[in-house]
Amino acid sequence: MTRWIDAAFVRGGTSKGLFFRAADLPPVGDGEERTAWDRIFTSAMGSPDAFGRQLDGMGGGISSLSKVMVVSASDRDGVDLDYTFAQVEIAEAAVDYSGNCGNLSSGVVPFALLTGLISAGDGWHVFRLFNVNTGKLVDVGLTVEGGQAAVDGDFVLTGVSGKAAPIELIYPDPAGSRTGALLPTGNTSDSLVAGGFLIDATLIDSTLPLVIVPCTAVGLTGTELPEQIDADSRALGLIEELRRAAAVRMGLCPTPETAPQVVPKVAVVNAQADTRLLDGTRLPAADADLPVRVISMGQARKAVPGTAAMCLAAAALVPDTIPHRILTRSKHPRSGPEVRLGTPSGVVTASAVRDTTTGEVTATSLYRTARVLMRGQVAVAD
C-alpha cells in the first residue's frame, strides 16, 4: 500500500532534501519514539539501497542529497520556528538525528513561508529558529517578496550554478552544540590512535562536532577531488577509525562501535596550495586561506557542510588549534572574523566572533541560497 504525505523538495545551500510540516507527520518524541518518522523518511528517500543510488525514492545516493527537515511554528518565547534535521542513510534503513545541517537550515524559512507556518511583509527580515537536534538557536535573515522568500539575486554560492538571493545564517552561542563545550576535551589538539598510529587532531564543537586533521596524517595531499578520496579505501578507513575514536573522546558515545553516523564530521586541512576544482579550473593558493576536504557519512563532500564551515571559522580563531597554526604560518595571513575555505567547488567564506576575554566563540555565520524545487505529496510505502 502507498500513502501520500504533503511535502516539499527544497535545495538549501549545496544540499537538497524533503521538507515536512510536523503536523503532517505522526506525533513523536525523542529516541525510540521517532521510529514512526524513520519508516516514513527511509521509504520516501529510497533507503535501503544496496546499489547506493536511492532510485526508488527522492534521495540522490550521496549524503548531501539524502536529508529531511521537519518544521513547525514554535511555542517558545521569541522563536518563530522549530525544526528537526534527519540524515537518512543510503545503504541501510536508518536515520540519524545527532546533528544539524547548516545548508538545509537555509531552506527552513522559505518552506515555512510557502506553507503558511509564518508570514511576513516585503523586505529584509530576521527570523529566529530553534534547532531541536542541538537545542541551539539560529537566526536567518532573508528578503521577502510577495509573501515568499526572494529567489532572484546577485549572490553566487560556491557549488551551485547561477546567482540567487542571499540568505544569512547566524548561530549565536554556537559552542557545545552536542558536547556542551567548544573544546570537549579541554585541549586544542589531542593524540588519537588510528591505523596503528598516533594522530594529532583538533576536536572542536561549534555549530557541530568536528575533527580537524592535517592531510598528511591520513595520507592525503589536501588537494584531491572528492572522487579521488572516495577511491582511496585506505585513507577513508583511517579517517573513519579516527572519527570513531574522536567520538568517544568527545563524549558522544561510549565505544567506537556506537559512534553516530552524522557527527563528528572530519575536516582534512592543508596549508595554502594551488588546487584543481570540479569544473576543471584552478584555484590559486592566495585565493583561499585554508584548503579543506570534508568527509561526511563515509564520503568526501563536493563543497563543505555549512555547519562545518562555521566550525572551521571558529577553530581558526582559537590559538594553537590545527587551523590556527596553519593560518599563523601562512604567507597570506587573514585578518578579521572571516576565513576563506578552499573546497573542491571553490571558495566558501565563513565568519566567527570570539570574546578574547573569556575565550568563548560568541557567534558564527555564513551566507547560503535556497529554493523550493517542488511542492505536493511524496509517496510512502505503508
Q: Does residue 29 carry a pLDDT above 80?
A: no
Say if CB 204 and CB 314 are below 8 A apart.
yes
Element (H, E) at 4: strand 2-12
Range of the domain at 211: 190-356
Whether residue 107 sits in one domain with residue 31:
yes
> pTM of the entire structure?
0.92
Whether residue 305 sits in one domain with residue 281:
yes
Which pairs count as long-range contacts for 21-26, CB under 8 Å and 24+ apart, including other chains?
21/70, 21/71, 21/72, 21/115, 21/117, 22/70, 22/71, 22/72, 22/82, 22/84, 23/72, 25/70
Whether residue 154 sits in one domain with residue 15:
yes
Nearest-angstrom CA–CA distance, 175 and 314: 9
**In terms of C-beta density within 10 A (0-12 exposed, 13-18 middle, 19 or more buried), how is residue 316 classed?**
buried
Q: What share of the chain is helix, strand, coil (3-state, %, to 5)?
A: 20, 35, 40
Mean predicted confidence (pLDDT) in 349-359: 93
Q: Does residue 155 carry a pLDDT above 70?
A: yes
**In terms of C-beta density within 10 A (0-12 exposed, 13-18 middle, 19 or more buried), how is residue 19 classed?**
buried
Higher pLDDT, 331 or 381: 381
Whether residue 134 sits in one domain with residue 215:
no
Which pLDDT score, from 0 to 100, does residue 332 have? 61
Whether residue 267 sits in one domain with residue 133:
no
In a domain, 337, yes or no: yes
Say if CB 86 and CB 39 are below 8 A apart.
no
Whether residue 246 sits in one domain with residue 160:
no
In a domain, 296, yes or no: yes
Nearest-angstrom CA–CA distance, 112 and 209: 27
In a domain, 361, yes or no: no
Q: Strands 2-12, 370-381: parallel, antiparallel or unpaired by DSSP?
A: antiparallel
Range of lowest pLDDT (26-30, 204-208, 244-248, 291-295): 26-30
> pLDDT tens digits, residue range 208-261?
999 999 999 999 999 999 999 999 999 999 999 999 999 999 999 999 999 999
Whether residue 373 sits in one domain with residue 228:
no
Which pLDDT score, from 0 to 100, does residue 32 have? 59
In a domain, 179, yes or no: no
Whether residue 163 sits in one domain with residue 226:
no
Other beta carbons within 10 angstroms of residue 309's beta carbon come to 31
Q: Strands 361-368, 370-381: parallel, antiparallel or unpaired by DSSP?
A: unpaired
Other beta carbons within 10 angstroms of residue 120's beta carbon come to 17
Whether residue 141 sits in one domain with residue 34:
yes
Whether residue 153 sits in one domain with residue 6:
yes
Looking at residue 19, which CATH number applies to its domain? 3.10.310.10
Q: Which pLDDT band holds residue 356 (cuts at 50, 70, 90)?
A: confident
Strand partners, 167: 368
User: Considering only CA atoms, which of 214, 366, 343 is closest in space to residue 283?
Assistant: 343
In a domain, 185, yes or no: no
In a domain, 363, yes or no: no
In a domain, 364, yes or no: no
Which pLDDT score, from 0 to 100, does residue 171 have? 97
In a domain, 54, yes or no: yes
Q: Does residue 331 carry a pLDDT above 80?
A: no
Q: Does residue 36 carry a pLDDT above 80?
A: yes
Whether residue 41 sits in one domain with residue 152:
yes
Whether residue 157 sits in one domain with residue 93:
yes
Which pLDDT score, from 0 to 100, does residue 375 have? 97
Q: Which pLDDT band holds residue 33 (cuts at 50, 70, 90)?
A: confident
What CA–CA distances, in Å, run from 191 to 185, 198, 217, 244, 262? Answer: 11, 6, 11, 13, 22
Q: Which pLDDT band holds residue 75 (cuts at 50, 70, 90)?
A: very high
The total number of structural domains in the chain stands at 2
Look at the block and give the residue holding cell 568526501: 300
> pLDDT tens digits, residue range 112-143?
999 999 999 999 999 999 999 999 999 999 99
Mean residue pLDDT across the chain = 95
